[in-house]
Amino acid sequence: MAEEVRGPDTTALDEVVAFTSELIRIDTTNRGGGDCRERPAAEYVAERLAGAGIEPTLLERTPGRTNVVARIPGTDPSADALLVHGHLDVVPADPAEWSVHPFSGEVRDGIVWGRGAVDMKNMDAMVLAVVRAWARQGVRPRRDIVLAYTADEEASADDGSGFLADRHAALFDGCTEGISESGAFSFHPQPGTTLYPIAAGERGTAWLKLTAHGRAGHGSKVNTANAVTRLADAVARIGSHTWPVRLTSTVRAALTELAALYAIDIDTGAPDLDVDLLLDKLGPAAALVQPTVRNSSNPTMLEAGYKVNVIPGQAVAHIDGRTLPGTEEEFAATMDRLTGPDVEWEFHHREVALEAPVDSPTFAKMRAAVERFDPAGHVVPFTMSGGTDAKQFSRLGITGYGFSPLRLPPDLDYGALFHGVDERVPVDALHFGVRVLDHYLKSA
């Protein structure tokens, strides 16, 4: 109980700021295609774990692409273990577009600036600060906690969580649930309302390659089998397709909580629920669920031809498709229909959709931890529109939640900072996150 009252010490509050800033200064830009080097950041984390008596294991599939895994033993050996993971790489940033240098880690007027301040060196630093405070205070969690700092999340995960799940599954023995990025940061749809969306699912990834074949020939001739025309027709149909509403249990739970919060008199359990009407009534709060009530399919790349007066025999397009849990067959059947007889399609890259229970003890404890430190805040479940490392860890039977708590000022458009310009996080938000994580991880 004394530990409960004590919470993280002032050293932890200082360290979370220093760690966020210093991790940002270690440039771990992931340009894809293997062009990244996480090792210096991994060593930085490993040294700080070792300094707290937590033994880190460094793992690489490719030299320089380093992952760190460590286990903190819990007091209850019969309890399932909890995985807490964060990636060390970041997406590229062009200094010319930023107000401060993206790899400066500058702390100015109570705000930490730089690439990774949001996604997700903030969470990496918060977890590190919490477990080091526990070492100073002699705190042990109830469950075993497995910490994983991964490489390569911003590209294929082949050198990161994918490699760990394939080759080092034993390090995650006993883990049934995991927490990581993209959830529990405050969202202010309008003045006076603070929501904390906790992620309990992710849409699946369905990246497609379309290939149209036709008759090559001179650009001046009649050609009724033009591969470019065939491809363009299919791409236009796919890009403008309105996918039907498909409510997963997480999205339905989110709609139910939001409808109650906004006192909208509507039966969210009704089979004929008019979701678009409800979203209209929710106003800005609809942004939490709107991207995940349907599948999506956006054309993103086109490749065809080499000379203006030559009709090529083949044309290729790429589609970024995202699927809700349980819609994979419908997605494939729809693609067969939209592409038509003259265009072949295949999955270029595919990841399963995830869904985590909202009525679990884990979700209840995360909710309680947030509401303890912000009693006026409302926790709402949501589904992520894209994907994270949780997809790879799900192959080990680990149910993933997005829980990286931050209380943010209402005027900060945090969502826009993911992969955006002038990524930054307030010091106060990091302190809130450390307190909530400390409380949640002890009680988990």
Interface positions with Zn ion (CB under 5 A): 119-120, 181
**Cβ closer to Zn ion: 119 or 144?**
119
- Tokens representing 91? 């997406």
Closest distance between Zn ion and the C-beta of residue 209, in Å? Answer: 25
Closest distance between Zn ion and the C-beta of residue 181, in Å? Answer: 5
**Cβ closer to Zn ion: 199 or 275?**
199
Closest distance between Zn ion and the C-beta of residue 49, in Å? Answer: 21
Closest distance between Zn ion and the C-beta of residue 410, in Å? Answer: 23
The residue at minimum Cβ distance from Zn ion is 119
Closest distance between Zn ion and the C-beta of residue 120, in Å? Answer: 5
Closest distance between Zn ion and the C-beta of residue 104, in Å? Answer: 20
Closest distance between Zn ion and the C-beta of residue 111, in Å? Answer: 20
**Cβ closer to Zn ion: 30 or 248?**
30
- Tokens representing 74? 């819990």
**Cβ closer to Zn ion: 67 or 226?**
67
Question: How many other CB atoms are found less than 10 A from the CB of residue 62?
Answer: 14
Q: Whose structure tokens read 């006192």?
A: 263
Beta strand segments in 335-436, E: 343-351, 354-355, 378-384, 399-402, 424-426
**Cβ closer to Zn ion: 119 or 257?**
119
> Which helix (H) or strand (E) segment is 179 a member of?
strand 175-180
Q: Whose structure tokens read 């470019």?
A: 228
Closest distance between Zn ion and the C-beta of residue 414, in Å? Answer: 13
Q: Whose structure tokens read 């590190």?
A: 128
**Cβ closer to Zn ion: 410 or 415?**
415
**Cβ closer to Zn ion: 144 or 181?**
181
**Cβ closer to Zn ion: 26 or 120?**
120
Q: Whose structure tokens read 């039966």?
A: 267
The DSSP secondary-structure symbol of 416 reads G
Closest distance between Zn ion and the C-beta of residue 24, in Å? Answer: 14
- Please give the single-letter amino acid code of residue 256: T
Residue 40's alpha-carbon distances to 28, 58, 73, 87, 149, in angstroms, are 8, 11, 26, 13, 12
- Could you give the CA distance from residue 180 to residue 97 in angstroms, rounded to a whole number? 29
**Cβ closer to Zn ion: 65 or 294?**
65
Beta strand segments in 7-99, E: 57-60, 66-72, 81-87
Is the CB of residue 228 less than 8 Å from the CB of residue 311? yes
Closest distance between Zn ion and the C-beta of residue 61, in Å? Answer: 20
**Cβ closer to Zn ion: 112 or 247?**
112
Helix (H, G, I), strand (E, B) or coil at 329: helix
Closest distance between Zn ion and the C-beta of residue 264, in Å? Answer: 33
Closest CA to 87 of 13, 29, 18: 29
- Could you give the CA distance from residue 375 to residue 53 in angstroms, rounded to a whole number? 35
**Cβ closer to Zn ion: 119 or 423?**
119
Q: Please give the span between the terminal C-alpha atoms of the chain, in angstroms, as a whole number.
A: 15
Question: How many other CB atoms are found less than 10 A from the CB of residue 279?
Answer: 19
Helix (H, G, I), strand (E, B) or coil at 218: strand
> Which helix (H) or strand (E) segment is 111 a member of?
strand 111-113
Beta strand segments in 192-342, E: 195-202, 204-213, 217-218, 296-304, 310-311, 314-323
- Tokens representing 249? 């249990």
Side-chain half-sphere exposure of 111, counting CA atoms within 13 A: 13
